[in-house]
Amino acid sequence: MNPDTVIHIGTDALRMVLLLSLPMLLVALVVGVAISLFQAVTQIQEMTLTFVPKIIAVFGSMVLAAPWLTKTMVEFTRNLIESIPGLLR
């Protein structure tokens, strides 16, 4: 296995991490901006107001995206395991 192969596998793994975390991060961003806007308009500066809705929204997005997340991760892992014989040459 040469260094280019290791870099390619590492790049694919990092790309997969970003792809799998994207739905939850986008939901957290949208909910955070909406809550910040709500706090700015109403002048309510409660710290827990930002965390609880974000946690609930991220958990909900994880539940909704779980089938896709699982399918994507299993496919990536299967491809990686199937490529092992070619990597050992």
pTM for the structure as a whole: 0.80
CB < 8 Å & 24+ apart, contacts of 61-64: 61/23, 61/24, 61/27, 62/23, 62/24
> Total structural domains in the chain?
1
In the predicted model, what is the mean pLDDT of residues 65-70? 96
> Is pLDDT at 73 greater than 90 in this prediction?
yes
Whether 58 contacts 28, CB under 8 Å: yes
Q: Which domain holds residue 10?
A: 3-87
pLDDT at 79: 94
Predicted pLDDT of residue 2:
84
pLDDT interval class at 1 (50, 70, 90): confident
Name the least confident of 12-26, 40-54, 56-70.
Answer: 40-54
